[in-house]
Chains A and B, each alone.
Chain A
Amino acid sequence: MFQKKKSLWLFLLPGLTGLLLFYVVPFLGGIYYSMTDGTISNQIVWFDNYKRVWDNEVFRLGLKNSLELSLICAPLIFVFSFVLAVMLRVLKEKSVTFRNLLLMPYLVPSAALLIVWQQILFDYGGPVNRVVAALGFERVLWLESEALRVPVVLLYVWKNLGFSIVLFSAALSSVPDALYEFARLEGANAVQQEMRITLPMILPTAFLVFVMAWVNAFKIFKEVYFIGGAYPRDSVYTLQHYMNNQFAKLDYQNVTTAAYSFALIVFVLFGALYLSRGVRGNDGR
């Protein structure tokens, strides 16, 4: 650790300036905005904006959808990535190709995928509905009804699944093989091994994967914007749509107020994560 070095400023200053100018100052300045009335006299109204925004139906719709969408996406990603990571471990060194393929969508731009997704896969006469019909159900109007959530959620999961798989795989590889050997000698079957050894051993990581998936899914927007546009159907109108549209109306008070409500929720989720670190500290890591 270097102490009292003048050269610190050489390294610190450029980055610090940018962080302050483009992130910290706007963040703090926004708090001021959210508490003033936006007229020429610009009076401080404290929490009136918050009351108004929280009473606003459109804001509530956005909040409800962001929460619901994130609570659909996060568990899906959590369960699938855990199961797939366990399967990757079963295959040991043969799993590398699979893992690399699973992560690939994470780098692919979603805008480029959109045509296949929207114009072919989820078209009323497209392959997805062929499968639905083959299973004996009514075909679904994926893009023209409230079912729009399904393609949106699937596009999100498609893109982000690999990320959680990598986190789980790293945690799984740190569980000593000897534990499984021992369990097998004792006659434990595969499911018992996963439930009794794997799960407890990776619990801290599992919790973290879930919270991260949740926080990230709460920020879901791109996928909805591409599929549903700036004014999508009610079922996928997110908090970020509300903010973008308030911004377009130049109502900065509403934007910032919504923004800090949004930030508060993200921080509460993050607080849970932070507390979990305390829990981890106690279990001997």
Chain B
Amino acid sequence: MTAGNPPIRRHRRRPLRPGRALSYAVLILVCALLLLPIVLTFLYSFFPTSEMKAFLETRNNYEPDHYMDILLSPSIVSLGQYYSLLIEKPVYLQLFFNSALYTLSILLGQLLVIPALAYALSRFRFRGRDALFFAVLMLMLLPFQVTMAPSVLTMRTLGLMNTRWAVILPMVFAPLYVFLIRQYMVGIPTDMFEAAMMDGAGTWRCFAHMVMPISKPILGAAAALSFADGWNMVEQPLIYLSNDQGAMPLSVMFDRVAASEPGVAFAGAALYIMPALLIYTYFQEDILLGIQLSDMK
């Protein structure tokens, strides 16, 4: 790796050429491996249902010389899987809409509650603030299961058990996003507040007309990460919706749908991935910022 260490030339700022070549090679390989499952999912979603079904039947075969074929091109490019999912069988769409409903309700609730809380935690001085922030920090590290049993009791007391609210409400207050947005707001220069207050702006005007617009990147990041969370949630619906299969989101039921209809599973997966990819593409830069802020500096 270091064999080609060249004699020092004054005007070369780039590091070693072999290093660059190696980096390219490794990164291309790793990216290809990482993308392979996603690419395969989309590729297989354009195979005719019958062909896919037949292909999947060759798995779980333990004979010594048997391998599954490496299947790369369909006999005919077909939208049959999509047609079947979207038009013939309403189950999938129902679950998809459930997921969308949960994710969007959670995002909307978070937008109403979390920036305001982060603002209070970052720009106000009040008793118990540090304790509250510390609690947020601790809670964000805990997995759902730690407070699961008592949460169920809270939900029962509130009469929300087995309703969609039980899934939505706790996620609306998710501590992780309070933390992220607070970290960003703390960094807004104090001068700006002083200037705004000189101009007669109160706490609300500062929040609505200055802090919120400035915080757009982190709000985008939080929205994207929270979307991924909601779109992917499993633990909460399993517990809170135990008696109500009809309200389950796609994330919980997808493996069952895929198992009952193997021929159309890949189109189902592709449709399921699609919104996540769109969100990712749109919020890419913001997400990077969000992740960098998550490191508790």
The answer to whether B20 and A125 touch across the interface, beta carbons within 8 angstroms, is no
How far, in angstroms, from A190 to B238 measured CA to CA in the complex? 51
The answer to whether B141 and A270 touch across the interface, beta carbons within 8 angstroms, is yes
The answer to whether B126 and A8 touch across the interface, beta carbons within 8 angstroms, is yes
How far, in angstroms, from A3 to B184 measured CA to CA in the complex? 20
B60 contacts chain A at the CB level, 8 A cutoff: yes
The answer to whether B119 and A115 touch across the interface, beta carbons within 8 angstroms, is no
How far, in angstroms, from A191 to B5 measured CA to CA in the complex? 11
Partner of A14, one of B117, B147, B287: B117
The digit string for B103-139, where 1 denotes a CB below 8 A from any CB of A, is 0000000001110110110011110000010011011
- A213-247 interface with B by 8 A CB criterion: 215, 219, 221-222, 225-226, 239-240, 243-244, 247
Across-interface contacts of B67 in A (CB, < 8 A):
125-126, 129-130
The answer to whether A29 and B150 touch across the interface, beta carbons within 8 angstroms, is yes
Q: Chain A: interface secondary structure? A: helix
Q: Nearest B residue to A276 by beta-carbon distance?
A: B296
Across-interface contacts of A256 in B (CB, < 8 A):
149-150
- A103-126 interface with B by 8 A CB criterion: 103-117, 119-121, 123-126
- B9-24 interface with A by 8 A CB criterion: 13-16, 19-20, 22-24
Once A108-B38, A112-B272, A219-B143 are accepted as A-B contacts, the answer to whether A7 and B202 lie under 8 Å apart by CB is yes
List residues of B whose CB falls within 8 A of some A CB.
Answer: 1-2, 5, 8, 13-16, 19-20, 22-24, 26-28, 30-31, 34-35, 37-38, 40-41, 44, 56, 58-62, 66-68, 70, 112-114, 116-117, 119-120, 123-126, 132, 135-136, 138-139, 141-143, 145-151, 153-154, 169-170, 172-173, 175, 178, 190, 202-204, 207, 224, 228, 231-232, 234-235, 238-239, 250-252, 254-255, 258, 262, 265-266, 268-270, 272-273, 276-277, 279-280, 284, 287-288, 291-292, 295-296
Across-interface contacts of B116 in A (CB, < 8 A):
10-12, 14-15
Across-interface contacts of A16 in B (CB, < 8 A):
117, 132
Shortest C-beta distance, B179 to chain A (Å), equals 12
- A55-114 interface with B by 8 A CB criterion: 83-84, 87-88, 90-92, 95, 98-114
A196 contacts chain B at the CB level, 8 A cutoff: no
How far, in angstroms, from A205 to B294 measured CA to CA in the complex? 12
How far, in angstroms, from A105 to B232 measured CA to CA in the complex? 12
Once A130-B67, A189-B5 are accepted as A-B contacts, the answer to whether A27 and B172 lie under 8 Å apart by CB is no
Using A18-B169, A101-B35, A114-B258 as known contacts, list a sample of 9 further A-B pairs with CB atoms less than 8 Å apart, ordered by residue number in A.
A2-B123, A2-B125, A14-B113, A19-B136, A21-B154, A111-B252, A112-B41, A240-B143, A270-B141
A259 contacts chain B at the CB level, 8 A cutoff: yes
Shortest C-beta distance, A147 to chain B (Å), equals 14
The answer to whether A208 and B296 touch across the interface, beta carbons within 8 angstroms, is yes
Q: Chain B: interface secondary structure? A: helix
Once A30-B150, A90-B20, A115-B265 are accepted as A-B contacts, the answer to whether A23 and B66 lie under 8 Å apart by CB is no
Across-interface contacts of B22 in A (CB, < 8 A):
87
A54 contacts chain B at the CB level, 8 A cutoff: no
The answer to whether A163 and B291 touch across the interface, beta carbons within 8 angstroms, is yes
Shortest C-beta distance, A50 to chain B (Å), equals 15
The answer to whether B173 and A185 touch across the interface, beta carbons within 8 angstroms, is no
Shortest C-beta distance, A83 to chain B (Å), equals 8
List residues of A whose CB falls within 8 A of some B CB.
Answer: 1-3, 5, 7-8, 10-12, 14-16, 18-19, 21-27, 29-30, 33, 83-84, 87-88, 90-92, 95, 98-117, 119-121, 123-127, 129-130, 158, 161, 163, 166-167, 170, 177, 180-181, 184-185, 187, 189-191, 193, 205, 208-209, 212, 215, 219, 221-222, 225-226, 239-240, 243-244, 247, 252, 255-256, 259-260, 262-263, 266-267, 270, 273, 277
Count of CB-CB pairs between chains A and B under 8 Å? 306
Once A102-B34, A104-B280, A247-B239 are accepted as A-B contacts, the answer to whether A113 and B41 lie under 8 Å apart by CB is yes
Shortest C-beta distance, A136 to chain B (Å), equals 15
The answer to whether B20 and A112 touch across the interface, beta carbons within 8 angstroms, is no
Once A16-B117, A115-B265 are accepted as A-B contacts, the answer to whether A22 and B154 lie under 8 Å apart by CB is yes
The answer to whether A190 and B147 touch across the interface, beta carbons within 8 angstroms, is no
Partner of A116, one of B40, B119, B292, B296: B40
Shortest C-beta distance, A130 to chain B (Å), equals 6
Across-interface contacts of B34 in A (CB, < 8 A):
101-102, 104-105, 158, 161
Partner of B16, one of A84, A104, A190, A244: A190
Please list 15 pairs of residues, one from A and one from B, whose beta carbons are closer than 8 Å in the complex, sorted by A's number: A8-B203, A11-B119, A22-B169, A33-B149, A33-B150, A90-B15, A91-B27, A102-B34, A105-B38, A107-B279, A109-B276, A111-B252, A113-B41, A119-B262, A193-B15
Shortest C-beta distance, A41 to chain B (Å), equals 18
Q: Nearest A residue to B268 by beta-carbon distance?
A: A112
How far, in angstroms, from A19 to B182 measured CA to CA in the complex? 15
Q: Nearest B residue to A124 by beta-carbon distance?
A: B62
Q: Nearest B residue to A218 by beta-carbon distance?
A: B143
How far, in angstroms, from A113 to B254 measured CA to CA in the complex? 10
- Most chain A CB within 10 A, of B8, B19, B252, is at B19
The answer to whether A87 and B231 touch across the interface, beta carbons within 8 angstroms, is no
How far, in angstroms, from A130 to B68 measured CA to CA in the complex? 9
The answer to whether B27 and A15 touch across the interface, beta carbons within 8 angstroms, is no
Partner of B27, one of A25, A84, A189: A84
The answer to whether A109 and B125 touch across the interface, beta carbons within 8 angstroms, is no
Shortest C-beta distance, A251 to chain B (Å), equals 9
